């Protein structure tokens, strides 16, 4: 008598719901608006990756990754800007570190803030390993955005001491499972494996920040691809990962449901449409204050005439980037781009904030230090309720003459209610890629990425950039921003 193998996967778990949503999503069901937004995010993410090529964390990750010889039966994936190929999970880590390092990739604001474009590194690696086309890649990216953003809507992790990348384990694994062609049961096992090992401490983004700030989700992406590869080959995972006695709900997030995932695509507003792109390379909660400070700087003839600066903002911005002594004396690039005082001082001093604003020399600039000492950050009772639907900040400057100047920004450039135009997205790509690509190459690459759905094989994407051609002048400038 034949033995009937019982499934370890029950259909009514949240992991099962995630798998059913992702594996059931089809490109033809996604509105053109969401597809276009996905292409904008891919362009933006590649721009960030090219701008970070010379950074220390990327160099470290590339030095450690194993080089895999491509050949018959080898499962490999490419690394942006490198000619060598590696294993898919290592490609996800290195590419993910590139995308995240500059703190210039997109953001989602909710009970738990996140950077959903971090999922693109996992999708790229899994898409290459699975030999998927552009339509399938876009579908998986949109599914990952949907899953992570819905989880962020459900419960705060930061309030419980966990880092936002913890949710990314589920979304990045979902995208990987889709692109590696997993069955529903295998996809659930992959989610269970990754989710059980996902919980990351919020200490990553507290106190003096380290290089790991830009690597944390890259590590999650690496584990997501690894979990999907294991499950594809028959590995089973702990279940149920969310609802279990020692599961995610009880130990990490608290209980919640995601009924929105059950909505049909034709009645769903895809969450990728609600994500924010960055106009300045700094933590997103600083974007409005930076914009307001830049406007004020243009009204002042001499920055030394400033007597005091008061930045009024919402509680999340205060807690994440506006409190703690290290914010007034950032010792690392990672702390500086997560320091509201440093970002505001840089904007007032230079009338802009760029990648170079966070160089080692700038951290020691006495003008920045003196100006930070004049800055006060507080939670504004009227602005706080506007978050996360808005990103309000009011910057007030009092001059030695007694004159007071102020500016208030509610929706910074890149917010869904003040979006970057396609031309601005292209300009950002060109700025970050210009040290690496010629104008002709930039134009050709953008044309290819705008037609992403027409690509026959995702393995083409890393090859769009070839290997690093270190133009000594501009490359050195980016390296000094570490």
Fold assignment, 284-409:
60s Ribosomal Protein L30; Chain: A; (3.30.1330)
pLDDT at 472: 43
Model pLDDT for residues 313-362, shown as the tens digit of each residue:
999 999 999 999 999 999 999 999 999 999 999 999 999 999 999 999 99
Reported as a pLDDT band with limits 50, 70 and 90, residue 478 is very low
The whole-number pLDDT of residue 463 equals 85
Residue 473 is predicted with a pLDDT of 40
Give the confidence band of 91 by pLDDT, cuts at 50, 70, 90. Answer: very high
Q: Are 59 and 52 in contact (CB under 8 A)?
A: no
Question: What is the reported pLDDT for 230?
Answer: 98
In this prediction, residue 1 carries a pLDDT of 39
CB contact set of 147 (below 8 Å; sequence gap of 6+): 18, 21, 22, 170, 171, 174, 261
Q: Which residue has the higher pLDDT, 479 or 67?
A: 67
Q: What are the pLDDT digits (tens) for 203-259?
A: 999 999 999 999 999 999 999 999 999 999 999 999 999 999 999 999 999 999 998
Which of 258-262, 265-269, 374-378, 436-440 comes out lowest in average pLDDT? Answer: 265-269
CATH of domain 14-274: 1.10.4100.10
Q: Tens of pLDDT along 274-297?
A: 999 999 999 999 999 999 999 999
For residue 456, say if its preceding peptide bond is cis, omega within 30 degrees of 0: no
* Nearest-angstrom CA–CA distance, 132 and 458: 6
Task: Tell me how far apart the terminal alpha carbons of the chain are, to the nearest angstrom.
Answer: 66
Q: What average pLDDT does the structure give for the chain?
A: 93
Owner of token pair 């290089």? 211
Torsion of CA 414, 368, 378, 308, to 10 degrees: -120
Domain boundaries, the chain: 14-274, 284-409
Q: Is 67 helix (H, G, I), strand (E, B) or coil?
A: coil
Q: Token digits for 109? A: 């604001």
Hey, what are 97's tokens?
């570190």
How big is the CA angle at 99 (ends 69 and 293), to the nearest 5 degrees?
Answer: 165
pLDDT for residue 218: 98
């Amino acid at each position: 008598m034949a033995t009937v193998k019982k499934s370890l996967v029950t259909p009514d778990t949240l992991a099962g719901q995630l798998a059913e949503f992702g594996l059931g999503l089809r490109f033809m069901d996604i509105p053109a608006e969401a597809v276009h937004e996905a292409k904008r995010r891919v362009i933006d993410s590649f721009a960030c990756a090219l701008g970070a090529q010379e950074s220390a964390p990327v160099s470290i990750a590339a030095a450690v990754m194993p080089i895999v010889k491509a050949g018959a039966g080898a499962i490999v994936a490419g690394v942006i800007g490198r000619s060598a190929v590696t294993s898919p999970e290592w490609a996800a880590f290195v590419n993910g570190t590139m995308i995240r390092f500059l703190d210039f990739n997109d953001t989602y604001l909710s009970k738990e803030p996140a950077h959903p474009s971090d999922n693109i590194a996992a999708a790229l690696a899994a898409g290459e390993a699975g030999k998927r086309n552009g339509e399938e890649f876009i579908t998986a990216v949109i599914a990952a955005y949907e899953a992570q953003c819905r989880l962020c809507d459900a419960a705060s992790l930061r309030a419980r001491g966990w880092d936002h990348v913890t949710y990314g384990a589920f979304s990045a694994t979902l995208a990987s499972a889709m692109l590696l062609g997993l069955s529903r049961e295998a996809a659930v096992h992959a989610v269970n494996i990754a989710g059980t090992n996902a919980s990351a401490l919020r200490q990553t983004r507290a106190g003096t920040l380290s290089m790991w700030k830009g690597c944390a989700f890259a590590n999650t992406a690496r584990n997501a691809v690894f979990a999907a590869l294991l499950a594809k080959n028959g590995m089973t995972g702990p279940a149920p990962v969310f609802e279990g006695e020692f599961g995610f709900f009880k130990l990490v997030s608290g209980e919640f449901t995601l009924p929105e995932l059950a909505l049909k695509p034709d009645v769903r507003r895809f969450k990728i449409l609600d994500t924010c792109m960055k106009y300045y390379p700094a933590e997103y909660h600083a974007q409005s204050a930076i914009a307001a400070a830049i406007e004020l700087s243009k009204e002042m003839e001499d920055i030394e005439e400033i007597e005091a600066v008061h930045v009024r903002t919402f509680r999340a911005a205060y807690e994440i980037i506006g409190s703690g002594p290290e914010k007034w004396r950032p010792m690392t690039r990672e702390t500086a781009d997560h320091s509201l005082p440093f970002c505001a001082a840089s904007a007032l001093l230079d009338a802009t904030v760029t990648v170079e604003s966070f160089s080692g020399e700038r951290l020691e600039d006495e003008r920045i230090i003196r100006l930070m000492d004049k800055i006060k950050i507080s939670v504004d009772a009227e602005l706080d309720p506007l978050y996360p639907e808005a990103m309000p900040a009011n910057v007030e400057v009092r001059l030695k003459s007694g004159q007071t100047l102020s500016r208030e920004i509610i929706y910074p450039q890149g917010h869904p209610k003040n979006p970057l135009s396609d031309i601005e997205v292209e300009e950002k790509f060109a700025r970050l890629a210009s040290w690496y690509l010629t104008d002709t190459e930039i134009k050709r690459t953008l044309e290819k990425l705008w037609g992403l759905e027409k690509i026959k094989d995702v393995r083409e994407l890393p090859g769009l950039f070839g290997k690093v051609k270190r133009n000594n002048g501009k490359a050195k400038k980016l390296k000094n921003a570490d």
